[in-house]
């Protein structure tokens, strides 16, 4: 089996766009034909991340590379996961 793709979602509490992005990431991950590790990170728990991302969440990285901000295209994400 191939190595898992890591999808990181930078988020914060009380963020409806973040909730939508996490749901989209989970659906794309479940539909992908390879393993996926989803890492949800609350930027408010780390002063450096809070300063870096502020209100610019959700912010989604695939294997460490920025791919989406504010909204996640599930089909595009699934394709990225499968191509990794």
d(CA 68, CA 64): 12
- Decide if pLDDT at 39 tops 70: yes
- Decide if pLDDT at 1 tops 70: no
Q: What is the pLDDT of residues 3-36, one digit of tens each?
A: 899 999 999 999 999 999 999 999 999 999 899 9
Structure tokens at 75: 């089909």
Residues 19, 84, 79: CA angle, nearest 5 degrees: 55
Q: Is 47 helix (H, G, I), strand (E, B) or coil?
A: helix
pLDDT of res. 60: 98
pLDDT of res. 84: 81
Banded pLDDT at 2 (limits 50, 70, 90): low
């Amino acid at each position: 089996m191939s190595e898992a793709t890591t999808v990181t979602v930078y988020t914060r509490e009380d963020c409806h766009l973040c909730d939508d992005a996490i749901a989209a990431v989970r659906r794309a991950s479940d539909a992908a034909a390879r393993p996926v590790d989803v890492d949800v990170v609350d930027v408010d728990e780390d002063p450096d991340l809070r300063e870096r991302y502020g209100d610019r969440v959700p912010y989604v990285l695939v294997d460490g590379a920025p791919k989406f901000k504010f909204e996640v295209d599930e089909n595009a994400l699934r394709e990225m996961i499968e191509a990794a």
